[in-house]
Chains A and B, each alone.
Chain A
Amino acid sequence: MSEQNKPVLEVKGLQTYFKTDAGIVKAVDGVSFTVHEGETIGLVGESGCGKSVTNLSIMRLVPSPPGKIVGGEVLYEGRDIMKMSEKELRSIRGNNISMIFQDPMTSLNPFLKISTQMIETICLHQNLSKKEAREKAIKMLAEVGIPSPEKRIDCYPHQFSGGMRQRVMIAMALSCNAKVLIADEPTTALDVTIQAQILELIQKINKKFKTAVILITHDLGVVAGMCDNVCVMYAGRIVEQAPTEELYAAPSHPYTQGLIASVPRMDESDKAKRLFSIEGQPPNVIDLPPCCPFHPRCHKKIGICEHMYPPVKQLSETHTCACWLHASEEEIKKAEEEVKKNG
């Protein structure tokens, strides 16, 4: 379905580095993907692999210092967000692209009423009076399933439960009919039952308002149920990108294979069989040597993996993968020679 729709957000070669005492952390190092209208794209990976930073970078919200977006472009409807003025940027934030965050407990301002926080957003981006904005806010709260929203709107955030707060966040994010909703692990801090409700809500909104959703998660089950496309991230780069069905049917990168194998399966009959787990730890991304960052944990590694980052290979029209296993013989030979030449 995504083929017919035009792209709303294109991320090309995004690089975000953090300067720390220990060295430069390349949190995001050349990430590219495209989000189409009405599409849900999943960003999967272990904690610390750069998912959140990617999305903060899209909105230029990376705390600076120490963070800095050093390269790449993010095109929203053809315009580069990275080159926008503060004013243009503000008109996009919260209006065209909205975000909801991991922890609903701290993401709402505890000192302001929900009404204040919602109305100011609506008034900021839409030409509505305060009263109309309030009505709209109440409507949105009803939309996300807050009971008796006309009363609850004047409460403070601490008077809501975690799931309710996340609903408020979603209502606020959607109150200006955003084209893209970035959901940064929206369910991690919530109970399992509430998680399902929130995900359902996001899905409903995605269908109803044709909002494109970038869903950041480390839960492959969530991705399978919700996303059209999946990007698998590892150590600041996208290692595999494919439509969900294709990825689950034929994972090509050893890391993706490992991830999928490590999901406990209800339909597996053999209970005694040990669950697969990827050995080792995700690498510290400070001063990484030139190599495939996954090689120490990879059970299929070959010689070249330790010396050079693999090229991104197009496996099918929609499926890309960065792994030496999919490179041709000549490419590997060429790379090996180059490594030898450089010592």
Chain B
Amino acid sequence: MTKYIFKRLIGMIPTMLIIITLSFFIVRIAPGGPFDGERALPEVVKRNIEAKYHMDEPLWQQYGRYLFDVIRGDLGPSYKYKDHDVNYLIFNSIPNSIILGCIAMAIALIFGVSFGIIAAVKQNSVLDYIPMGIAALGLSVPLFVVGPLLQYIFAMKLGWFPTSGWFSEGLGWKTIILPSIALSFAYYADIARLTRSSMLETLRSDYIRTAKAKGMRNSVIIFKHAMKGAMLPIVSYLGPAFAGIITGSIVVEQVFRVPGLGKFFVQSSFNRDYTLIVGVVIVYSAILIVMNFVVDVVYAQLDPRITYK
């Protein structure tokens, strides 16, 4: 097991390198620099700025310098926010994004798994149709529609929740609810459908028939015998789900004005703030890769048939 974990950890390095390299070069070969917006800087000033940010060096040297800095954990200065470096900007905003993402994931998992199981057990009943109908809705309604609609209905029309803002700005815990529900909706849908179908499949399997033939109680069959097998597809779905939640949080943060990483990402891609873009992508990717790693380990733990080689 330790060996397996170690091997997977080593395997993360090339992916990370590719991400850093790819985003670095995409950004550098792009037309237009970060200082183009401020019109017609005097040549001397421009050269000074470029020297300050090492932009006068050849590309490979810039890349090497950057790579070295990243490994040291320094993501460099921001080109647009002159007072702060990228580290400061990212680590000030990332807790908000993580809280939002985790709550959304928890909501999606708790509701998705429980409704999925109920629907599978009570197949073709109201308890099947209603949660699955909502799930079908979640599959077809994009995040950027769910968010504004929730905002419109529950914040503006009904006034149950604040329209936007975040609790870290002193606006109260209620600010968390709408963004997390919006973000979790699509993943609730996927998880519920996945749970239902894999539960149904497992319940039809031979070993469940054996358990029934042994006279086991239904609840024992579902939670002891079927649960583990039925959860495997859910666990392997969590990797893509994390990626989706990260992407989705960009929209949700935009709609609900959450001061998280996603807002910086969109802003910096409009501003061409090179270091900030690359920094945000690296942080997102790192989160995603670590999450994928955790998912793999959990999967290996759940399924005894997997040998750690």
Contact = CB atoms under 8 A, between A and B. Distances in A.
A63 interface: yes
Interface stretch (B23-31, B35-43, B209-217): B209-217
B91 interface: no
A101 B204 contact: no
A59 B216 CA distance: 13
B211 A109 contact: yes
A108 B213 CA distance: 12
Contact of B214 (A89, A106, A112, A124): A124
Q: Chain B interface: which size bin?
A: 20 to 34
B48 to A, nearest CB: 65
A152 to B, nearest CB: 15
B225 interface: yes
Nearest to A106: B206
Contacts of A322: none
B69 to A, nearest CB: 46
Contacts of A89: 215
Contact of B207 (A107, A120, A124): A107
Contacts of A108: 207, 210
Interface in B260-309: 302-305
Which label, helix, strand, loop or mixed, suits the secondary structure of the B interface?
helix
A252 interface: no
A94 B302 CA distance: 27
B212 A110 contact: no
A111 B205 contact: no
Contact of A95 (B215, B220, B302, B303): B215
Contacts of A94: 213-216
Contact of B225 (A59, A103, A109, A125): A109
A133 B305 CA distance: 26
Interface of A: 59, 61, 63, 89-95, 98-99, 101, 103, 106-112, 120-121, 124-125, 156, 158, 169, 172
29 contacts: A59-B213, A61-B209, A61-B212, A63-B204, A89-B215, A90-B216, A91-B215, A92-B215, A93-B213, A93-B214, A94-B215, A99-B210, A99-B213, A101-B206, A107-B207, A108-B207, A109-B207, A110-B207, A110-B305, A111-B303, A111-B304, A120-B216, A120-B224, A121-B214, A121-B215, A124-B215, A156-B304, A158-B304, A169-B210
